Copies of this chain bind each other. A is one copy, B any other.
Amino acid sequence: MSPSSRTPSGATEASDTPSEADETPALATIGEFGLIERVTRDRVQPPATLLGPGDDAAVVAQPDGRAVACVDVLVEGVHFRLDWSAPEDVGRKAVAANLADVAAMGAVPTGLLVGLAAPRDTPVETLEGLATGMWTEAEVVGVGLVGGDVASSPTLVVSVTALGSLEGRAPVTRDGARPGDVVAVCGRIGWAAAGLAVLTRGFRAPGVLVDAHRVPTPPYAAGPAAAHAGATAMIDVSDGLLADLGHVAADSGVRIELRRDAFAVPDRLAEVAPALGVDPIDWMLTGGEDHALAATFPAGTTLPAGFVEVGAVVEGEGVVVDGEPYAGAPGWEHFT
């Protein structure tokens, strides 16, 4: 990790003036290098990590001569709350959101870098938990945390960069959907929104939904599988299915028609929705943060395992549900 604890301009840096150790040591007591040492110690890097943390930069294998690259920024109080999620969950979620973007290109991840801005009084335990969560999710797909940077900040901000390999394939972009294609989804949709709705109302159960909000489980392998199968466009569902398919429709210059009866409402959503006065289909159409993959395929394609057909691509623009513009809950205003 790059030790860029540069001379601060008018403020002190995390490791400048260690405060006295107390029962819960804070970042300031161990400093940037102390933290880096703790979170990289005993971690095993996969073969793709040609040079890991500890130098000015890392080196990652990109066998086909290209790197897929994306970044996601999570802010405490905006994207996560440490009273609702354990640090491990936040770390997993930050990495998952980014690995899903790699998958949505049809790529497999090759490495992760972390930019962390944290208050000086952040408990070391919290930061170690964040790092543990990141490693846990990274290990799901066999990549390493190859580098990063730590800075002092009034607000806790986690910026994760993911690199990926297309394995010789063309990237699956958002602009390739063509009239006649089918639209299919792989992975959970609406679960995180339901979990958030539960938490917002002060409940902690059903645990499976709360967990879905805390830690998404994107279907990573479905991304390359969709690319293999000939997906014409793909996106990960981070803002909500309608919002994200809206990007595909706009970038591809097509209309996407979804059929409400194509969505099988999972029992868990069906059970809890009435108590919260919600139509579970709303969660499925507009809920973000599950990081499912939505893709279009030429008609007649044998869909890869896990993909469920939910609609079709036609001439026109926008996204409609059962032939009508969706007039549901807000939260997906990017889709207009």
Asked if A333 meets B15 with Cβ closer than 8 Å, knowing A58-B69, A113-B69, A171-B55, the reply is yes
In-complex Cβ contact of A67 among B62, B104, B153, B288 (8 A): B62
Stretch at the interface among A6-14, A131-139, A201-209: A6-14
Residue A45 is within 8 A (CB to CB) of chain B in the complex: no
Q: Is the CB of B334 within 8 A of A15?
A: yes
Residue of A62, A73, A84, A101 with most partner-chain B CB within 10 A: A73
In-complex Cβ contact of A65 among B4, B63, B85 (8 A): B63
Instruction: Tell me the chain A residues, 114-153 only, with Cβ under 8 Å from chain B.
Output: 114-117, 146-153
Instruction: Tell me the chain A residues, 70-105 only, with Cβ under 8 Å from chain B.
Output: 70-75, 77-81, 84-85, 97, 100-102, 104-105
Complex interface: chain B residues within 8 A of A7 (CB): 192-193, 196, 239-240, 287-289, 331
Residue A178 is within 8 A (CB to CB) of chain B in the complex: no
Complex interface: chain B residues within 8 A of A64 (CB): 65
Residue A277 is within 8 A (CB to CB) of chain B in the complex: no
In the A-B complex, the 8 residue pairs with the closest CB atoms: A57-B70, A115-B159, A159-B159, A155-B155, A56-B104, A73-B151, A56-B101, A75-B153
The chain A residues found within 8 Å of chain B, CB to CB, are: 2-11, 13, 15-16, 31, 33, 50-51, 54-75, 77-81, 84-85, 97, 100-102, 104-105, 107, 110-111, 113-117, 146-155, 157, 159, 161-164, 166, 171, 173-174, 192-193, 196, 199-200, 213, 234-236, 238-240, 247, 251, 287-289, 330-331, 333-334
Give 24 pairs: A residue, B residue, CB < 8 Å, sorted on A: A3-B247, A4-B238, A8-B78, A9-B78, A9-B84, A9-B213, A16-B331, A50-B66, A50-B171, A56-B234, A57-B104, A57-B164, A57-B171, A59-B171, A62-B67, A71-B114, A71-B147, A71-B161, A73-B115, A73-B149, A79-B151, A149-B159, A154-B154, A163-B163
